[in-house]
Structure 1
Amino acid sequence: MSLLGAFNIGSTGLVAQAMRLNITASNVANAESVAGPDGRTYRARQVLFAPVPVENTQGAGVQVVDIVESKEPLKQEYKPFHPMADKNGYVQMPNVNPVEEMVNMISASRSYQMNIEMMNTTRQLMLKTLDLGR
């Protein structure tokens, strides 16, 4: 792999982790939303990654292949006077777990940071290589 290829790999990682951060932020923002614009209760979403296929190699980066909704059951909260309550007084709340989302946010943030560090190291290696030619 060339040093320029490392930039391509790093940039795919940056894009993927940025998408993961956006989805996590959306989950946190909607953790208390009873219904979205479509009238349904919000469900937590997760990003699925896959390696970028490249002929004759193990892969060259990562790509977002899908954003899936969680299959976890919705939370039931007893709020008898809420306009969206059922006949028993329960309201369906999103299945967002704030602790899991914070862990996801930290992990995505660190992965993003590592991709930046890898690209900086690659840049420094390229500059050192150019200095050798002087």
Structure 2
Amino acid sequence: MDMIKSLFISASGLKAQNGRMRVIAENIANANSTGRNPEEDPYRRKIPTFRSEFDKQVGAEMVELGRIAEDKSDFKTRLEPGHPAADENGFVRIPNVNTLIETVDMREAQRSYEANLNVIEATRKMLQRTVDILRA
């Protein structure tokens, strides 16, 4: 039964990391999304969080994607006098997204996803070997 638990735990990790990658992809896609006028805020970076919850059916702690928080750091500005979102001094507020940080976060999420896949594959192989031994 512990091998079955490991499958469920790894599956919850896959789902959580998938959600994390979706949030990171949204941040990267909107890294240059400014407001349409000087009063409108540009895109604000989103931060995925995780939470642990006990699953009574499985009898184990499962990881889930928690709430999606907004990064409250200040927006950057760029001098672009002709832009529709430029203020009276010609500065445009741009999103607080750093694509380098997002890329590193994406790579970390991919590695966590792959680690969970490896656990599932190893567990599947062990279960198959157990069935093969029992048949013999």
For 1:109, the aligned partner's letter is Q
**Identical aligned residues as a percent:** 35
Identify the residue that residue 96 of structure 1 maps to in structure 2: 97
Q: TM-score, normalised by structure 1?
A: 0.90
**Alpha-carbon distance in 2 for matches of 1:89, 1:130:** 70
Q: Deviations over 1:31-73 (max 9, x none)?
A: 011138xx53101111100112246xx9422011100111111
**Contact 2:41/2:93 (CA < 8 Å) preserved in 1?**
no
Identify the residue that residue 19 of structure 1 maps to in structure 2: 19
**Contact 1:45/1:68 (CA < 8 Å) preserved in 2?**
yes
Identify the residue that residue 4 of structure 1 maps to in structure 2: 4
The answer to whether structure 1 residue 34 and structure 2 residue 34 are counterparts is yes
The answer to whether structure 1 residue 129 and structure 2 residue 130 are counterparts is yes
Q: Deviations over 1:83-129 (max 9, x none)?
A: 11111111110000011000011000111111100000000110111
For 1:24, the aligned partner's letter is I
**Alpha-carbon distance in 1 for matches of 2:120, 2:22:** 22
**Alpha-carbon distance in 2 for matches of 1:67, 1:103:** 19
RMSD over equivalenced CA pairs, Å = 1.8
Identify the residue that residue 66 of structure 1 maps to in structure 2: 67
Structure 1 residue 131 displacement after superposition: 1.7
Higher percent of residues as strand: 2
For 1:5, the aligned partner's letter is K
**Contact 1:43/1:69 (CA < 8 Å) preserved in 2?**
yes
72-81 vs 27-36, greater mean Cα deviation: 27-36
**Alpha-carbon distance in 2 for matches of 1:53, 1:65:** 14
Consecutive aligned runs of 4 or more in structure 1 exceeding 3 Å deviation:
none
**Contact 1:74/1:93 (CA < 8 Å) preserved in 2?**
yes
**Contact 1:33/1:93 (CA < 8 Å) preserved in 2?**
yes
Structure 1 segments unaligned to the other structure (5+ residues): none
- Total equivalences in the alignment: 131
